[in-house]
Amino acid sequence: MGITIFYHGRLRDIADLPLLQAELQAACVRLGWPCILIDERILGTAERYTVVPVECDDGIPTNRFETYDEPVDDHVRGGVIRPPGCETLFLTFDRLGRMVWYNNASDASAQPGRYGLIQEHLFCKTQFGSPDTHIRVCELLRLVEKYAAEWEVTDEGNFWETRDEQVLLATWVHYQAIFDTFSDPQVMREMLGSAGMHMDDGQTWEMGKVIEDAPPPWRGDWGVSAGDN
Protein backbone atom coordinates (compact mmCIF):
# COMPACT_ATOMS: atom_id res chain seq x y z
CA MET A 1 0.00 0.00 0.00
CA GLY A 2 1.21 3.51 -0.73
CA ILE A 3 1.46 5.94 -3.63
CA THR A 4 3.06 4.06 -6.51
CA ILE A 5 3.86 4.84 -10.15
CA PHE A 6 3.33 1.97 -12.63
CA TYR A 7 4.87 2.08 -16.10
CA HIS A 8 5.60 -0.05 -19.15
CA GLY A 9 6.36 0.28 -22.86
CA ARG A 10 9.12 -0.11 -25.41
CA LEU A 11 11.61 2.03 -27.29
CA ARG A 12 10.73 3.16 -30.81
CA ASP A 13 14.32 2.47 -31.87
CA ILE A 14 16.74 0.42 -29.76
CA ALA A 15 19.58 2.44 -31.35
CA ASP A 16 18.40 5.44 -29.29
CA LEU A 17 19.19 3.68 -26.01
CA PRO A 18 22.69 5.20 -25.55
CA LEU A 19 21.17 8.68 -25.90
CA LEU A 20 18.53 7.86 -23.29
CA GLN A 21 21.16 6.45 -20.93
CA ALA A 22 23.20 9.65 -21.26
CA GLU A 23 20.14 11.79 -20.48
CA LEU A 24 19.20 9.68 -17.47
CA GLN A 25 22.73 9.78 -16.11
CA ALA A 26 22.98 13.57 -16.55
CA ALA A 27 19.61 14.06 -14.84
CA CYS A 28 20.67 11.89 -11.90
CA VAL A 29 23.92 13.82 -11.53
CA ARG A 30 21.88 17.02 -11.21
CA LEU A 31 19.60 15.36 -8.66
CA GLY A 32 22.42 13.69 -6.76
CA TRP A 33 20.78 10.28 -7.16
CA PRO A 34 22.70 7.03 -7.74
CA CYS A 35 22.30 5.77 -11.31
CA ILE A 36 23.89 2.51 -12.44
CA LEU A 37 24.07 1.89 -16.18
CA ILE A 38 23.17 -1.70 -17.04
CA ASP A 39 24.63 -3.74 -19.89
CA GLU A 40 24.12 -7.38 -19.01
CA ARG A 41 23.47 -10.65 -20.77
CA ILE A 42 20.70 -12.75 -19.23
CA LEU A 43 21.30 -16.40 -20.10
CA GLY A 44 19.60 -19.37 -18.47
CA THR A 45 16.07 -19.77 -17.16
CA ALA A 46 13.60 -17.32 -15.63
CA GLU A 47 10.07 -17.50 -14.27
CA ARG A 48 6.90 -16.26 -15.89
CA TYR A 49 3.42 -16.41 -14.50
CA THR A 50 0.08 -17.31 -15.97
CA VAL A 51 -3.39 -16.58 -14.62
CA VAL A 52 -5.55 -19.66 -14.11
CA PRO A 53 -9.32 -19.22 -13.53
CA VAL A 54 -10.54 -21.10 -10.46
CA GLU A 55 -14.10 -21.66 -9.27
CA CYS A 56 -14.31 -21.61 -5.49
CA ASP A 57 -16.69 -23.64 -3.32
CA ASP A 58 -19.01 -20.65 -3.01
CA GLY A 59 -19.38 -20.55 -6.80
CA ILE A 60 -17.60 -17.22 -7.17
CA PRO A 61 -14.89 -17.41 -9.86
CA THR A 62 -11.44 -16.16 -8.98
CA ASN A 63 -7.91 -16.39 -10.35
CA ARG A 64 -4.78 -18.24 -9.29
CA PHE A 65 -1.28 -17.25 -10.38
CA GLU A 66 0.98 -20.08 -11.48
CA THR A 67 4.65 -19.74 -12.43
CA TYR A 68 6.60 -21.72 -14.97
CA ASP A 69 10.20 -21.73 -16.18
CA GLU A 70 11.19 -20.22 -19.49
CA PRO A 71 14.59 -20.38 -21.23
CA VAL A 72 16.08 -16.92 -21.81
CA ASP A 73 18.97 -15.47 -23.77
CA ASP A 74 18.56 -11.74 -23.54
CA HIS A 75 20.59 -8.54 -23.44
CA VAL A 76 19.36 -6.03 -20.87
CA ARG A 77 20.50 -2.40 -21.03
CA GLY A 78 19.39 0.86 -19.48
CA GLY A 79 19.62 2.45 -16.05
CA VAL A 80 18.82 1.50 -12.45
CA ILE A 81 18.12 4.55 -10.28
CA ARG A 82 17.65 4.83 -6.52
CA PRO A 83 15.52 7.87 -5.59
CA PRO A 84 15.86 8.76 -1.87
CA GLY A 85 13.30 6.99 0.31
CA CYS A 86 11.68 5.26 -2.67
CA GLU A 87 11.80 1.86 -4.26
CA THR A 88 14.30 1.33 -7.06
CA LEU A 89 13.40 2.82 -10.45
CA PHE A 90 14.22 0.26 -13.16
CA LEU A 91 14.50 1.78 -16.65
CA THR A 92 15.89 -1.22 -18.51
CA PHE A 93 15.15 -2.76 -21.90
CA ASP A 94 15.61 -6.12 -23.63
CA ARG A 95 17.14 -6.88 -27.04
CA LEU A 96 14.01 -5.67 -28.82
CA GLY A 97 13.69 -2.48 -26.82
CA ARG A 98 10.88 -3.71 -24.58
CA MET A 99 10.99 -2.59 -20.95
CA VAL A 100 11.92 -5.55 -18.76
CA TRP A 101 13.58 -6.53 -15.50
CA TYR A 102 14.72 -9.99 -14.41
CA ASN A 103 14.20 -10.45 -10.69
CA ASN A 104 16.50 -12.37 -8.40
CA ALA A 105 15.78 -16.07 -8.00
CA SER A 106 13.62 -16.71 -4.92
CA ASP A 107 16.10 -19.38 -3.81
CA ALA A 108 19.11 -17.63 -2.25
CA SER A 109 21.31 -20.61 -3.18
CA ALA A 110 20.42 -20.40 -6.88
CA GLN A 111 23.28 -20.98 -9.30
CA PRO A 112 24.27 -18.63 -12.15
CA GLY A 113 21.68 -18.64 -14.90
CA ARG A 114 18.68 -18.95 -12.60
CA TYR A 115 16.46 -15.84 -12.44
CA GLY A 116 13.20 -15.04 -10.76
CA LEU A 117 10.07 -13.53 -12.23
CA ILE A 118 10.36 -11.62 -15.50
CA GLN A 119 8.75 -8.18 -15.06
CA GLU A 120 7.51 -6.24 -18.05
CA HIS A 121 5.12 -4.00 -16.12
CA LEU A 122 7.30 -2.12 -13.64
CA PHE A 123 6.56 0.16 -10.69
CA CYS A 124 8.19 2.51 -8.19
CA LYS A 125 6.60 3.22 -4.80
CA THR A 126 7.31 6.82 -3.77
CA GLN A 127 5.09 6.97 -0.64
CA PHE A 128 7.99 6.96 1.80
CA GLY A 129 10.02 9.51 -0.12
CA SER A 130 8.50 12.96 -0.62
CA PRO A 131 6.19 14.75 -3.05
CA ASP A 132 9.22 16.46 -4.59
CA THR A 133 10.92 13.10 -5.16
CA HIS A 134 7.70 11.81 -6.74
CA ILE A 135 7.77 14.73 -9.17
CA ARG A 136 11.43 14.07 -10.06
CA VAL A 137 10.64 10.39 -10.73
CA CYS A 138 7.91 11.52 -13.12
CA GLU A 139 10.43 13.82 -14.83
CA LEU A 140 12.75 10.84 -15.40
CA LEU A 141 9.84 8.90 -16.87
CA ARG A 142 9.17 11.86 -19.20
CA LEU A 143 12.73 11.46 -20.50
CA VAL A 144 11.93 7.86 -21.37
CA GLU A 145 8.62 8.90 -22.96
CA LYS A 146 10.52 10.90 -25.60
CA TYR A 147 12.05 7.68 -26.92
CA ALA A 148 9.17 5.30 -26.22
CA ALA A 149 6.27 3.74 -28.07
CA GLU A 150 3.25 2.10 -26.45
CA TRP A 151 4.22 4.04 -23.33
CA GLU A 152 1.80 3.90 -20.42
CA VAL A 153 2.15 5.39 -16.94
CA THR A 154 -0.37 5.07 -14.10
CA ASP A 155 0.35 7.42 -11.22
CA GLU A 156 -1.55 6.89 -7.96
CA GLY A 157 -0.43 10.37 -6.94
CA ASN A 158 -2.32 11.83 -9.94
CA PHE A 159 0.66 14.01 -10.89
CA TRP A 160 1.63 12.33 -14.17
CA GLU A 161 -1.73 13.03 -15.80
CA THR A 162 -2.37 16.48 -14.31
CA ARG A 163 1.17 17.90 -13.87
CA ASP A 164 -0.45 19.73 -10.97
CA GLU A 165 1.63 19.79 -7.78
CA GLN A 166 -1.39 20.79 -5.68
CA VAL A 167 -3.27 17.68 -6.83
CA LEU A 168 -0.28 15.54 -5.83
CA LEU A 169 -0.01 17.22 -2.42
CA ALA A 170 -3.73 16.66 -1.74
CA THR A 171 -3.40 12.98 -2.66
CA TRP A 172 -0.26 12.72 -0.53
CA VAL A 173 -2.05 14.15 2.52
CA HIS A 174 -4.91 11.68 2.02
CA TYR A 175 -2.56 8.67 1.88
CA GLN A 176 -0.53 9.92 4.83
CA ALA A 177 -3.67 10.18 6.94
CA ILE A 178 -4.43 6.53 6.17
CA PHE A 179 -0.90 5.50 7.17
CA ASP A 180 -1.10 7.53 10.36
CA THR A 181 -4.30 5.69 11.25
CA PHE A 182 -2.76 2.28 10.60
CA SER A 183 0.26 3.27 12.69
CA ASP A 184 -1.96 3.60 15.78
CA PRO A 185 -1.47 0.38 17.85
CA GLN A 186 -5.03 0.53 19.17
CA VAL A 187 -6.47 0.68 15.66
CA MET A 188 -4.30 -2.28 14.63
CA ARG A 189 -5.42 -4.30 17.66
CA GLU A 190 -9.05 -3.70 16.78
CA MET A 191 -8.51 -4.63 13.13
CA LEU A 192 -6.54 -7.76 13.97
CA GLY A 193 -9.09 -8.70 16.61
CA SER A 194 -11.91 -8.51 14.06
CA ALA A 195 -9.91 -10.94 11.91
CA GLY A 196 -9.35 -13.37 14.79
CA MET A 197 -5.70 -12.34 15.33
CA HIS A 198 -3.94 -10.33 18.02
CA MET A 199 -0.95 -8.07 18.57
CA ASP A 200 1.12 -8.60 21.72
CA ASP A 201 1.68 -5.78 24.20
CA GLY A 202 4.66 -3.71 23.14
CA GLN A 203 4.54 -5.05 19.58
CA THR A 204 4.69 -2.36 16.91
CA TRP A 205 3.42 -2.30 13.37
CA GLU A 206 6.29 -1.54 10.99
CA MET A 207 5.40 1.04 8.36
CA GLY A 208 7.44 2.51 5.55
CA LYS A 209 10.37 0.11 5.47
CA VAL A 210 12.21 0.14 2.13
CA ILE A 211 13.03 -3.39 0.98
CA GLU A 212 16.34 -3.51 -0.87
CA ASP A 213 16.61 -5.66 -3.98
CA ALA A 214 20.11 -7.03 -3.51
CA PRO A 215 21.85 -8.80 -6.40
CA PRO A 216 22.10 -12.59 -6.16
CA PRO A 217 25.20 -13.78 -4.27
CA TRP A 218 26.52 -15.49 -7.39
CA ARG A 219 26.62 -12.17 -9.23
CA GLY A 220 28.85 -10.58 -6.61
CA ASP A 221 32.11 -11.41 -8.33
CA TRP A 222 30.87 -10.03 -11.65
CA GLY A 223 30.67 -6.41 -10.63
CA VAL A 224 27.86 -4.26 -12.00
CA SER A 225 27.55 -6.13 -15.28
CA ALA A 226 28.68 -9.26 -17.02
CA GLY A 227 28.26 -7.52 -20.35
CA ASP A 228 27.99 -10.03 -23.18
CA ASN A 229 30.66 -12.35 -21.79
Where do the domains of the chain lie?
Answer: 4-222
pLDDT, residue 202, reads: 55
Kind and range of the H or E element at 28?
helix 17-31
User: Do the Cβ atoms of 125 and 91 come closer than 8 Å?
Assistant: no
pLDDT, residue 112, reads: 82
Residue whose C-alpha is closest to residue 65's, from 47, 82, 80, 79: 47
The DSSP-derived string for 138-203 is HHHHHHHHTTEEEEEEEETTSHHHH--HHHHHHHHHHHHHHHHHHT-HHHHHHHHHHTT----TT-
C-alpha dihedral sign at 140, 142, 143, 144: positive
pLDDT, residue 190, reads: 62
Which residue positions in the chain have pLDDT lower than 70?
1, 57-59, 182-229
Model pTM score? 0.77
Amino acid, single-letter form, for residue 222 = W
Count the Cβ atoms, other than its own, within 10 Å of residue 122.
18
Burial class (CB in 10 A: 0-12, 13-18, 19+), 32: exposed
pLDDT, residue 199, reads: 54
Burial class (CB in 10 A: 0-12, 13-18, 19+), 169: middle
Q: What does the alpha-carbon distance between residue 2 and residue 125 come to, in Å, rounded to a whole number?
A: 7
What residues form DSSP beta bridges with 127?
none
pLDDT, residue 218, reads: 41
Taking each continuous run of H as one helix and of E as one strand, the counts in the chain are 5, 8
